[in-house]
Amino acid sequence: MTVKIGLIGLGMIGRDHLKRFHNVISGAEVTAVCDINRAAADAVASEYGATAFYDAEEMIHSELVDAVFICSIGPVHKTQILAAFNAGKPVFCEKPLTPTADESKEIIEAEVKAGKRLLQLGFMRRFDPGYQALKHAIDSGEPGDVMLIHCAHRNPSVPESYTLEMAINDSATHEIDIIRYLLNENITSVRVDKPRKKTSRALPHLQDPLIVIFETESGVRIDDELFVNCHYGYDIRCEVVGENAIIALNEQQLINTRSLHGNAHHIAQSCMERFATAYDREVQHFVDSVRDGREMSGPSSWDGYVVALVCDAGLASLKDGEKHDVVIPQQPSLYR
Ligand code: ISE
């Protein structure tokens, strides 16, 4: 069976996934694309031999579509997800699940009512071979009790539309999710530190870099450097400090070049380049689940909801500089 995909949102990540469906993914075909920008939808549809839609609900209910792939902006996710649930179609949704935790709650309620998982969320780092190896090492007990984690999230630059809040609810979301995945426990508090210095490369409305401090249930302390105009590349770092060993993500490149200029390797320039394998694997995972008629698995709506709760606390701390606690309700058995 070839899964007929309806893809909503033709921005950067939507187009990247479209190419992935075309060149890498097996068992699926993008039969419909949807964007409110009609010219973009028409152009992409004719390039990929898909049908263009300008209204998401119409596309979701179309017979051309078996599964809904959401790459639109966060504020419209909730409506599109609930429409797909109502149409009985499985959903892949890019992060964030929704911009606020309250909206995510409605999605949880709908899934709990249905009695099964209907959505896979796009936290692609969980499919990255480096992070998976790090998790495997932690689970094996090699580092012993984990005490600290040092993270860095560096983007070469961000567009003018990137707001200060997005450092938390668009960028740090990835660390918030991956910390829970690596440690198998929840974050209990967040504090955002604004260094007095900021890069001259950041637009005036940004404070860049920022440091976010998280604490988990067992007391692991995590610092996350968010530096989104670092200039030199897309650099994601993670070092886990245990009492017996320190385990870190390695450089992701396959070769080093030794020359008169020293020992060098290429540094990725975008998340699409750095996490290409992870994106391929998460999308194939979704397609395989739909094709085999399995319940959705991988990052869930619950993960999206919990990350949104941590983000809400982070946004409050961004305003007042105080430490904010995160209160997480009991997890429904569906997600255990
Ligand atoms: C962007 O939305 C992403 O998801 C990228 O992975 C992240 O590195 C970037 O900071 C975000 O703006």
Atom of ligand 1 nearest to the CA of 158: 12
* Ligand 1 centroid from CA 270, angstroms: 9
**Considering only CA atoms, which residue is closest to atom 6 of ligand 1?**
271
Rounded to two decimals, the pTM is 0.97
Q: Is 170 in the pocket of ligand 1 (CB under 6 A)?
A: yes
Cβ within 8 Å of residue 63, ≥6 positions away: none
Report the pLDDT value the prediction gives residue 317, as an integer from 0 to 100. 98
Cβ within 8 Å of residue 16, ≥6 positions away: 272, 279
Whole-number Å distance between alpha carbons of 146 and 148:
6
Q: Which two tokens stand for residue 287?
A: 């397609």
Express each pLDDT in 221-279 by its tens digit: 999 999 999 999 999 999 999 999 999 999 888 899 999 999 999 999 999 999 999 99
CA-based end-to-end distance of the chain = 30
Report the pLDDT value the prediction gives residue 251, as an integer from 0 to 100. 86
3-state secondary structure 135-164: HHHHHHCCCCCEEEEEEEEECCCCCCCCCC
Give the residue, out of 171, 177, 282, with the most ligand 1 atoms within 8 A of its beta carbon, to mutate for a pocket test.
171
Cβ within 8 Å of residue 140, ≥6 positions away: none
Residue-by-residue DSSP string for 257-300: EEETTEEE-----SHHHHTHHHHHHHHHHHHHHHHTTPPP-SS-
Q: Is 94 in the pocket of ligand 1 (CB under 6 A)?
A: no
Pairing of strands 235-242, 210-216: unpaired
**Considering only CA atoms, which residue is closest to atom 2 of ligand 1?**
170
Express each pLDDT in 7-54 by its tens digit: 999 999 999 999 999 999 999 999 999 999 999 999 999 999 999 999
Express each pLDDT in 26-35 by its tens digit: 999 999 999 9
